[in-house]
Structure 1
Amino acid sequence: MICPRCHKEVPEGSHFCPHCGIPLDDKCPHCGHQNIPGAKFCAFCGRPLVGGTTRRPQGSFTPTEDIYHEEEKTYEPEKVSHKVNWKIVLISVLVLILATTGAQYYLQHSKSIKFSDSNTSVSEQINSIVKLKKTTVIEQSSNLSNDGMVAADDHYIYMSNTNNKLVKLDKNMNVVKTYDIKYATYLNLVGEKLYYTDRDHHISVLDTNTGKHETLQDVSAFYMTYHDGKLYYQNDSDNENLYVYDISSKTSTKLLDEHIYNMNFNGDIIYLTGKSSIISYNMTTKATDTIYNEQVYGSVYRDGYLYFTTPKMAIGRVNVQTKESQIILNNIGYSMFVMSDEAIYYVGSDAKMYRLDFNKKEPTAVYQFQSHRISGMQIVNDHLFVKDNQDWKVVNTSNTKYAVIFEN
């Protein structure tokens, strides 16, 4: 193990560097090995680390500062000739002209089109990419399992820009309003009200028309999900137990003394991802039951099944009635996925986003990530919103075209 400050060898499992004293206490939630503070990926298993904490096995993709610094080096300048070879210059100019012309032709005729703009309009041609409407229940549950960074209705899309400020976009990805809210997560859009957690993970609400926002509960809340006039959440201030906030009475109540993560609703039942299992909680009888008795990362409910990822980098599902389980996909690249009503989307080890339709056996590639720095994954009506190397992009999974929304 190498210290990130002094770059000297440190014994494995050390809590502090014996040479410079920097703290070195950060365990990977997947394999349990120690990592250096603020690391984005585990040095032992390669999986994404969760915002510097071991408590949430999926989500929390807020980028951390880079921790590696190259040593300053001094180089002696080489002696060069100042004689100009005009023949080489002329040939270079002609090659540059031909390359530019070819690149323009490719961009105009390529299947995957990149329209770039950092703040306002992406392009009128984005209409050929984005055909959006309100997120479905499955998509919303899937997004909340991955920090809930995007929400949409029939008119607008809400997400954060490169400055981490919450913005309202129209269907052409034009910013029509910027709110004075930073690091908003777990977005739940209910009519004109947007419920979210702020940078301190306090439960908050925004009036999307007036821009007025307020804190509803001064707690540390995660996986917050709106259901039937109430906000259900993991109370990190109370041992990650299940709580509910009643919007009308403005009161919070503890429901379950159990470590829980994301949640799915089906009638009176809440399916909860726990530390080492998936459990059900009956809101009427208060009874609990174990649905799947192994550790999973995230879960999404669809037609009697809960879909999840496993520590062995696979996607599986379990029947909530019979409790029979099966593995659908092996050897995925990241322990996270999103779902629509029609398909599952996941990232392979080749840094490609794949789509697996529920009525098909073979997946198809819909997007190629530019790097392995994947820090966001959301879905709205089979359109993927991906944060690829800090750039937010929208991908039409039907024709694989994509556009840059916010460029870092």
Structure 2
Amino acid sequence: MTSPSGSSDAPRPLLNRRLAEFGTTIFAEMSALAVRTGAINLGQGFPDEDGPEEVREAAVRALRDGRGNQYPPGPGVPELRHAIAAHQQRRYGLAFDPDTEVLVTAGATEAIAAALLALVEPGDEVIALEPYYDSYAACIAMAGGRRVPVTLRPRDGAYHLDLDELRDAITPRTRLLLLNTPHNPTGTVLTRAELAAIAELAVERDLLVVTDEVYEHLVYDGEHVPLASFPGMRERTATISSSGKTFSFTGWKVGWVTGGRDMVAAVRSAKQFLTYVSAGPFQYAVAEALALPDTYFEGLRAELGARRDLLANGLAEAGFEVYRPAGTYFVTTDIRPLGGTSDGFEFCRELPGRAGVVAIPNAVFYDHRDEGAPFVRFAFCKKREVLEEAVGRLKGLGR
């Protein structure tokens, strides 16, 4: 590139400074590694089998009936918005107006992006629980915010939040708490007492909250309690969930936001300039999925809980230190008891060649990379026979 004076300068990077630290996601890298090596992919959290047949058929029926083949309404089709409101009322006793307090999005990731773009001013601080899902950091950056991590730390076989550390992280510049429970990647499910303390803190310091609750139906130990159900939280909380994890149709990308009228209006203002609308026919199918009987949700939880135990027990037998998750799709392990490297990146890049399995290094989810260096995440949302084969391969690491 030549400057106006005619001198030659170094070319200006195309990617803006806010996103310069973000390259290809670790999920893309490790999934490509799985394909290249033929390894079992326990890295990315997508199921290897479809969800309920009646839900899939509902999507086919919507396509054939011409429902959703053109632009659906910006906030989402009425059938889905009413189904989301009914779900929140039935499961948690939370009442939302489907016309003004429910917004359908292109998955939870878009919902998070739209919420942060709508609610965060440049320079605002956003507190997120570390390790965090990688899109959080990118979305905070795109909004011009400054992320402030509060680290969950392993103890007694699980990860724990230090409420005093959370309180100390809040400054006059703090605008928003970005909360994820059940928590990816650690599997932590915040308790009712912890959530009550967070709610009191948010009210006391007049903070907004965005909660990512996509694993709400995948809790194996304890219970899922929406933060919006606590006193003073309904109007200041944007509650986010999606259909992908609950119904095993991750490719449909149907998510949603619920909250007070003003909160949802703010998020909708940003969302309309992202995708505007998406997944028309799938919205009708997800509306039917949300109305499935409780036996479906109970069966899903029981089946995935059994797969969690299969993988966690196998990893422990292979020599890993295992942090058994209370929820989500994922088991976090410490690789140090295996000997050899304590660098999760190095371990995960070598694992396909050593054992024919792909995992994700947890350090990618940290600002404080040293905190996450020896930890590796495995997904158990796979068929039992796949998990059994993976466990058998991993047991060879110690030999």
**TM-based fold match above 0.5:** no
Under a length normalisation based on structure 1, what TM-score does the superposition of the two structures give? Answer: 0.26
More helix by share: 2
Q: Which has the higher strand share?
A: 1
Larger radius of gyration: 1
